Amino acid sequence: MAIVEVKVPQLSESVAEATLLQWKKKVGETVAADEILIEIETDKVVLEVPAPAAGVLAELVVGDGGTVVSDQLIARIDTEGKVAAAPSAEAAAPAPAPTAAAVLAQAKNMGAVAMPAAAKLMADNNLPPGSVTGTGKDGRVTKGDVLAAVASGAAKPAAAPVSIPTGAPTKVLPQVSAPVVAPDLANRPEQRVPMSRLRARVAERLLQSQATNAILTTFNEVNMAPVMEMRKRFQEKFEKEHGVKLGFMSFFVKAAVHALKKFPILNASVDGNDIVYHGYFDIGIAVGSPRGLVVPILRNADQMSFADIEKKIAEFGQKAKDGKLGIEEMTGGTFSISNGGVFGSMLSTPIINPPQSAILGVHATKERPVVENGQIVIRPINYLAMSYDHRIIDGREAVLGLVAMKEALEDPARLLFNI
């Protein structure tokens, strides 16, 4: 039997560990070379692990939800296409006690364990292992099984909660001593789901940003009529020529770069006691995805055409939806743009994306009454909000920078003449 090992791909230096999501093959099933076996979630991206060779999946060393590190063995493939039905003579010989990892893998293959969410729910209700009958795949215990057992009283809490001593590994699920049994749970269900690594990382970075930056936000309103008229005038020709629709985001990117050139401090970052001025313009575009907020980067946005920007943003959106964004596509960035307007947001105060020092928040464009030349008229107005790190950016530069963006949007010809 020729065995090929399946290992975790090399993770980036900033990623210490990752989580296995769900195996796409069972032990004993055939696999093709380069067929995706499982996805691995880091705090930045989701990586796919292909089969290094064709054959039969002989063993799963780490099951669904397991924590892994770079180059760790997670499965074995028999390239001869046969899996022994009975233990070999070598396996039958006396051997040292199996490791905890081997026992866990064996238990999972037998369906003798609870799914991660179910295990967490059992811990919250102080239910010992084996107290809930599993109805899931291969006899695994699901969240529904635990909820039903708690509601019916079929599962009994452990006699005494197990306390976690100081210094114990953080991966041990805590046992909650207080009862969490609701008599009407069936009519008022709750679901406890662990944060994904990406969501936990986003939360960490947002807290870090608020804790380390002196965040202040300045606002301005923009009459979007000139941009809307230009877009309407050239939309059809633009799409025919470039194969992509002309959206509003390319205008916001161009206006932002225009302002950053005038006020380089908005494009800078803090490194210790130093201010780093960047001579390039890498604009992060905040994109929502099923797994959380991601910010892919438009590299050298100042050198990109409107068509280049629109194509790249469309590509980012599709990759985010499919979970295909690479680490290199989300690394770096000197300034960010967050467009809450696509969801209907009227006004917000965006949080800076470290180590950047400023971020532009774009919102929904709505018709509003404004005063022009002493007359009340109706105009499509968008409220812009720019949050900035007051440690290095003074109010003057922040306000004038946002005004420069406003002027570029209200008179797009300024972008052509750089004025």
- CA 44/CA 39 separation, integer angstroms: 13
- CA 202/CA 197 separation, integer angstroms: 9
Tokens of 224: 């979007």
User: Measured in whole angstroms, how far is the alpha carbon of residue 233 from the centre of its chain?
Assistant: 37
User: What residues form DSSP beta bridges with 283?
Assistant: 298, 335
User: What residues form DSSP beta bridges with 49?
Assistant: 38
- Give the pairing of strands 335-339 and 283-285: parallel
The single-letter DSSP state of residue 249 is H
| The dihedral sign for the CA sequence 200, 201, 203, 208 | positive
Residue bearing tokens 């969490």 = 180
Task: Identify the three-state secondary structure at position 385.
Answer: strand
Tokens of 109: 């293959």
User: Burial of 402 by CB count in 10 Å (0-12 exposed, 13-18 middle, 19+ buried)?
Assistant: buried
- Give the pairing of strands 215-223 and 18-20: unpaired
Active-site residue, selected from the candidate residues 34, 71, 322, 394: 394
Instruction: Let me know: does 105 contact 20? Beta carbons within 8 Å.
Output: no
Active site residue 278: no
- CA 155/CA 141 separation, integer angstroms: 13
5's CB contacts (< 8 A; 6+ apart) are 52, 73, 75, 76, 77
Active site residue 390: yes
The single-letter DSSP state of residue 248 is S
Give the DSSP per-residue string, 133-165.
Answer: ---SGGGPBPHHHHHHHHHHT-S---SSPPP--
Instruction: Let me know: does 318 contact 225? Beta carbons within 8 Å.
Output: no
Kindly list the catalytic residues.
Answer: 390, 394
